[in-house]
């Protein structure tokens, strides 16, 4: 899955990255089922790794999910994290800041949600909204955006140096795919609650958002907090890429089982 990783300093062209890509898996049912079976195995492995992460209480993992409306942030969380213990996992969603949050620097509310040691934290949208929606809508200048890029890199480096593994995923869907998903929300009464007319206004700014995302990915993908551009038109492949990347990163943490309590002979211990 490292083919989807943005290398530091790399020029990013989203129009050259196929959101329909399915790697070595065919789009037909056979390839889809193989991918789903692999994903299920990865989800089981992720549950095991999370238990060790929680038991050790020495490191943490932060997963950042960004993408256009309907790109699948909620679906990714629902499926990929289905095997983890909720006790050691927390999802934070960042919407428009409150008056209290606006009275502080833009990272103030974000740092508060960073995962404690032993936990997995998931950001459904994130501090990157402050260099995306603000920029596209002209609420901040390019100078402020570049200052925030520096501050974000330093913030993520701070987290990394204090034991947090950071994985950032841009869920890459096509404009046509977004149209189909928005239309599905309109047709399906069970999904209409997700529909927001503001999404249609944001859709009109598609090209502006793509340029903003390209700038974000190029400016803030680092060795300690890499971005991955995930082909997300096929939900089953999106889940596979995200699950595989998280499992690989957590495996590299070399998480050990905590030592057994000293002075206890478990071979003779009996419970009465």
With H, G, I as helix, E, B as strand and everything else as coil, classify residue 37: helix
pLDDT along the chain (272 residues), means of 10: 93 96 85 94 97 96 97 96 95 92 95 97 96 95 96 98 98 97 91 85 94 97 98 97 98 87 79 80
> What pLDDT was estimated at residue 133?
94
pLDDT value of position 197: 84
Give the number of other CB atoms < 10 A from CB of residue 152. 23
What token pair was written down for 212?
């903003």
pLDDT of residue 199: 84
What is the rounded distance in angstroms from the CA atom of residue 203 to the CA atom of residue 207? 9
**pTM metric for this prediction:** 0.93
Q: Are 64 and 92 a contacting pair, CB within 8 Å?
A: no
Dist CA 152 CA 175 (whole Å): 28
- The pLDDT value recorded for residue 191 is 87
| Token output for 133 | 């929606």
Q: What is the pLDDT of residue 223?
A: 97
pLDDT at 1: 80
Enumerate domains of the chain plus CATH numbers.
2-251 (3.40.50.300)
Which stretches of 69-222 are assigned E, i.e. beta strand? Answer: 89-93, 120-124, 164-172
Q: Which helix (H) or strand (E) holds 65?
A: strand 60-67
What are the backbone angles phi and psi of residue 126, rounded to the nearest 5°?
Answer: -165, -160
* Rounded Cα gap, residues 246 and 232, in angstroms: 16
């Amino acid at each position: 899955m490292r083919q989807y990783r943005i290398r530091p300093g790399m020029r990013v062209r989203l129009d050259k990255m196929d959101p329909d890509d399915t790697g070595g898996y065919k789009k037909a049912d056979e390839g889809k089922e193989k991918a789903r079976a692999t994903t299920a195995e990865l989800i089981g492995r992720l549950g095991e790794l999370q238990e060790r992460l929680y038991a050790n209480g020495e490191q943490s993992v932060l997963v950042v999910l960004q993408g256009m409306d309907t790109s699948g942030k909620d679906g990714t969380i629902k499926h990929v994290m289905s095997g983890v213990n909720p006790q050691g996992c927390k999802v934070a969603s960042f919407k428009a800041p409150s008056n209290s949050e606006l009275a502080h620097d833009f990272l103030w509310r974000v740092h508060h949600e960073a995962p404690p040691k032993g936990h997995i934290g998931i950001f459904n949208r994130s501090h990157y909204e402050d260099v995306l929606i603000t920029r596209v809508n002209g609420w901040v200048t390019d100078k402020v955006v570049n200052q925030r890029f520096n501050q974000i890199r330093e913030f993520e480096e701070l987290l990394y140096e204090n034991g947090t593994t950071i994985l950032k995923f841009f869920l890459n869907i096509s404009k046509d795919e977004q149209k189909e998903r928005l239309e599905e929300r309109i047709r399906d009464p069970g999904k209409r609650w997700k529909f927001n007319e503001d999404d249609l206004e944001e859709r009109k700014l598609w090209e502006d958002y793509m340029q903003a995302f390209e700038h974000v990915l190029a400016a803030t993908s680092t060795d300690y907090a890499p971005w991955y551009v995930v082909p997300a038109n096929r939900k089953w492949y999106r889940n596979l890429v995200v699950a595989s990347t998280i499992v690989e990163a957590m495996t590299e943490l070399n998480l050990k089982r905590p030592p057994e309590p000293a002075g206890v002979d478990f071979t003779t211990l009996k419970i009465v």
